[in-house]
Amino acid sequence: MATAFSSDGEAALRRELCAAAAAAPRSDLDGFYEMDRAAAFVRDGGFRKVALQFPDELLADAVEVAGRMEAATGAEMYVLGDTTYGSCCVDEVAAEHVGAEAVLHYGPACLSPCRKLPVLHIFGRQPLDIGRCTEAFRELYPEQQSCVVVLYDVVYAHAMGELEQQLCPEYPNIIFSRLVCGDPPDPTVPGEERKFGRQFLVEAAGGLQDYAMFYVGTEGLALTSFMLTWNCCPFSSFNPTTGCGRRETLNVNRALMRRLYLVERARDAGVVGILVGTLGVAGYLTVLQHLRQLLCRAGKRSYTLAVGKPNPAKLANFLEVDIFVLVACAQNSLLDSSDFYRPVVTPYELELACNPAREWTGNYLTDFRDLLPGACAHVELPPAVPAEEAVPDVSLITGKMCATHLCGPPTSQLPPSTTLACRDQTRALAEISPAASFLESRSWRGLEQQLGQTPVSKAVQGRRGIAIAYEDEGCEQP
């Protein structure tokens, strides 16, 4: 999971490109990229500047697609070749740099609602062997009365109608999820449930928990998010690339135990870094403010960090931070931080650690919008408890006593500051913060001028090239 959202760039530097393959676009551009539907979206909206966002694997077609779209619509097309965060999210920031009025998002998508710009998702029509997928389903579910929900990667959405025609006559209790792409819920539809940009029409009294899940797609972040969210449901999958169906054997209980361990780490943390992992998903500013308020009430210091795509090297620069919380879309929130210097948790896990009113119910939440006021899983912060009346708790990590109560909300009248201290004999004041205190305790604090203490030397020519391969490194033979 770490390689999908976190990368140190080494793979891109070492990757070899085939010029012939990169220059040859697909022969079925009109069908694969739904050119007619995209052109109608641009014309009907009256857009004059449109951003085309492609993932890396589809960039070879970008020039041809942009040229055809400009010819069909008369609008200016701008290709977004790199994304600020995950490619599954709509990059509104890059689109606004060119003044785009709309975005055409190509390839896999997390279907998170956007804040500003109108978006049309074009997933691409990846091939799916309907006959083989039907056979795999029958092998996995021989009982025709089985209650099964069919999930799928968005790139196979075009084939679900045909698959539904094959399976529905034999399996009366099968449910096919529908992609909604930001459409508002319809209150007149009975039994409607929505999750991950998908609509489920469930008739069972227990909801989706009473169904088995059948996923069409390759192994990845989407399947992992589904399995953790519906952790009580048995999962099976069909991989269109290999043509094989299987029962998923991911140890969900072990994965949840790992996430609950991170909750205990967050409970013990004193300094928390809030990582901004999206700038386009609706509600991200609200959840940032919610997390800051939660950490302030819990007596923890927080720093908001915007570092782009997080990787171990970037986050290792913030040694004073005890734990990070990543605010990202539902698919990219589950960052595998085993290679990181400090753990990375989700907003839901931070709430479990800091909000005494929220208890673990077995339902795991990956969408941070579910935590906001008015959402289905929002839990109000309890009132403040005086320190002398608070019930202490024992840390499961360190074995030390720790407080679990919340402080009162900050008032408009600031109390006398306790973060100011005398710095020297001239009575100058210095503000004490966790970051400053940590810097004072380090033996190396960065480059220092040391004026008059170092000898003057003549300038000499240094090494040439890039850090990964200097020019003089390839001369020696092993």
Give phi and psi for 86, each to the nearest 5. -75, 145
Distance, in Å, from the CA atom of 90 to the CA atom of 114, rounded to the nearest integer, reads 7
Q: Residue 216 in contact with residue 240, Cβ under 8 Å?
A: yes
Q: How many CA atoms lie within 13 A of 391 on its CB side?
A: 1
422 by Cβ neighbours in 10 Å (0-12 / 13-18 / 19+) ranks as exposed
Structure tokens at 373: 């006021």
DSSP string, 317-341: T-TT-SEEEEE--TTTS----TTSS
Torsion region of 442: left, alpha or beta (phi above 0 gives left; psi -120 to 50 gives alpha)? beta
Q: What percentage of the chain carries pLDDT values higher than 70?
A: 81
Torsion region of 20: left, alpha or beta (phi above 0 gives left; psi -120 to 50 gives alpha)? alpha
Structure tokens at 180: 């909604």
**433 vs 382: which has the higher pLDDT:** 382
Alpha-carbon torsion, ordered 304, 307, 312, 313, to 10 deg: -120
Q: State pLDDT tens for residues 90-122.
A: 988 889 999 999 999 999 998 888 888 999 999
Residue 335 has pLDDT above 60, yes or no: yes
Which range of 36-45, 194-203, 250-259, 302-311 scores highest in mean pLDDT? It is 36-45
DSSP 8-state class, residue 362? S
pLDDT of residue 138: 94
Distance, in Å, from the CA atom of 19 to the CA atom of 237, rounded to the nearest integer, reads 35
Residue 19 has pLDDT above 50, yes or no: no
Give phi and psi for 117, each to the nearest 5. -85, 145
Q: Residue 75 in contact with residue 103, Cβ under 8 Å?
A: no
Q: Residue 276 in contact with residue 89, Cβ under 8 Å?
A: no
| CA distance to 149, 247, 303, 340, 437, per residue, from 140 (Å) | 13, 8, 48, 38, 59
Q: Which of 3-7, 8-12, 256-260, 301-305 has the lowest mean pLDDT?
A: 3-7
147-150-153 Cα angle (round to 5)? 165
pLDDT of residue 389: 67
Confidence at 6, pLDDT banded by 50, 70, 90: low
- Predicted structure pTM score: 0.78
Q: State pLDDT tens for residues 258-293.
A: 888 999 999 999 899 999 988 888 889 999 999 999
**426 vs 331: which has the higher pLDDT:** 331
CB atoms within 10 A of CB 423: 12
Strand partners, 102: 50
pLDDT of residue 331: 84
132-169 residues labelled b (16+ CB within 10 A) or e (exposed): ebbebbeebbeeeebbbbbbbbbbbbbbbeebeebbee
The enclosing H or E element of 2 equals: helix 2-5
Angle between helices 130-140 and 160-167 (to 10 degrees): 50
Q: State pLDDT tens for residues 150-169.
A: 999 999 999 999 999 999 99
**310 vs 181: which has the higher pLDDT:** 310
3-state SS class at 369:
helix
Q: Residue 56 in contact with residue 50, Cβ under 8 Å?
A: no
Residue 185 has pLDDT above 50, yes or no: yes
DSSP 8-state class, residue 159? G
Q: State pLDDT tens for residues 293-327.
A: 999 988 899 999 988 888 898 999 888 899 999 99
Residue 421 has pLDDT above 60, yes or no: no
Mean pLDDT of the chain: 83
367-388 residues labelled b (16+ CB within 10 A) or e (exposed): bbbbbbeeeeeeeebeeebeee
> For residue 304, which amino acid is it?
T
DSSP H stretches of helix in 109-196: 130-140, 160-167
Q: State pLDDT tens for residues 361-373.
A: 888 888 898 898 8
Interval 417-429 mean pLDDT: 52
